[in-house]
Amino acid sequence: EAQVTQNPRYLITVTGKKLTVTCSQNMNHEYMSWYRQDPGLGLRQIYYSMNVEVTDKGDVPEGYKVSRKEKRNFPLILESPSPNQTSLYFCASSFGDSDTQYFGPGTRLTVL
Amino acid sequence: SQQGEEDPQALSIQEGENATMNCSYKTSINNLQWYRQNSGRGLVHLILIRSNEREKHSGRLRVTLDTSKKSSSLLITASRAADTASYFCATPASDSWGKLQFGAGTQVVVTP
């Protein structure tokens, strides 16, 4: 089954404790992206990747890192999480930036 | 900054009625996409319309695009309770290839 998976689905952590949210897709998509969703603000793009080893900043990259060492994986790293990073996070993938994006189920992160 | 903005923010209708929502954007685009999100879950792609298309249909969905007015509309005909969801338009960002920008969404509630 074609899908985008994210782990963990739910995470409660404390300020400053490094964490990684994994994202994996099995559709051989070149394009992957991370979004955060906050009430009243819609989805905002954090980082995106056009292909392996090619990443670029979205609209809200501060406080986040990404890497794309393999085509199927695109982890999101929070080196020192802060409470303002409490949000619902989505990973998405597609063949190209102008194509249909397939979204993962979301990761609800709470930073205390 | 958001490229697309949906209107209205919320819409409440009864089953069988039609639901119309609009999306306005600021800069030239090569395509516009509509997505649906059920509460707290991942987004599901509904339809993509390219800049050289004026109207597109998919089942009970009809999307129009007016590039001269920089606006798009999504019509859901004969709505069902299962159509209760938030609907988002998304457009490629004008300042960077690979960025996709979402509006804040229209929350639709369909009551039986």
Which DSSP string corresponds to chain A? ---EEEE-SEEEE-TT--EEEEEEESS--SEEEEEEEETTTEEEEEEEEEETTEEEE-S--TT-EE--SSSSB--EEESS--GGG-EEEEEEEESSTTSPPEE---EEEEE-
Q: Name chain B contacts of A100, Cβ cutoff 8 Å.
A: 33, 45, 48
Cα distance from B96 to chain A (closest Cα, Å)?
Answer: 9
Burial class (CB in 10 A: 0-12, 13-18, 19+), B59: exposed
Query: Which tokens hold the place of A90?
Result: 């989505």
pLDDT for B109: 97
What are the two backbone dihedrals, phi and then psi, of residue B45, each rounded to the nearest 5 degrees?
Answer: -70, 135
pLDDT for A96: 74
List, as ranges, residues 33-52 from A with C-beta within 8 Å of B.
33, 35, 40-45, 48, 50
Pairwise CB contact (< 8 Å): A105 & B98: no
Size of interface A-B (CB pairs under 8 A): 65
**For residues B89 and B16, what is the distance between their CA atoms, to the nearest angstrom?**
23
pLDDT for B11: 95
Q: Which of A45, A104, A106 sits opposite B100 (nearest CB)?
A: A45
Question: What confidence tens digit (pLDDT) does each residue in B59-109 have?
Answer: 999 999 999 999 999 999 999 999 999 999 998 876 666 677 888 899 999
Q: Which of A43, A87, A88 to mutate to test the interface with B (most CBs of B within 10 A)?
A: A43
Pairwise CB contact (< 8 Å): B103 & A42: yes
Cα distance from A16 to chain B (closest Cα, Å)?
Answer: 26
- Check if the beta carbon of residue B18 is closer than 8 Å to that of residue A86: no
- Check if the beta carbon of residue A44 is closer than 8 Å to that of residue A29: no
**For residues A6 and A25, what is the distance between their CA atoms, to the nearest angstrom?**
9
pLDDT for B97: 61
**For residues B9 and B24, what is the distance between their CA atoms, to the nearest angstrom?**
13
Q: Name chain A contacts of B98, Cβ cutoff 8 Å.
A: 31, 48, 50, 56, 97
pLDDT for A97: 62
pLDDT for B3: 62
DSSP class per residue in A36-54: EEETTTEEEEEEEEEETTE
Per-residue confidence in pLDDT tens, chain A, 112 aa:
889 999 999 999 999 999 999 999 999 999 999 999 998 888 899 999 999 999 999 889 999 999 999 999 999 999 999 999 999 999 999 887 667 889 999 999 999 9
* C-alpha A36, offset from chain centre: 8
In this model, does residue B51 exceed pLDDT 60? yes
pLDDT for B1: 44
pLDDT for A27: 94
Helix H, strand E, coil C: the string for chain B is: CCCEEEECCEEEEECCCCEEEEEEECCCCCEEEEEEECCCCCEEEEEEEECCCCEEEECCEEEEEECCCCEEEEEECCCCHHHCEEEEEEEECCCCCCCEEECCCEEEEEEC
**For residues B4 and A57, what is the distance between their CA atoms, to the nearest angstrom?**
19
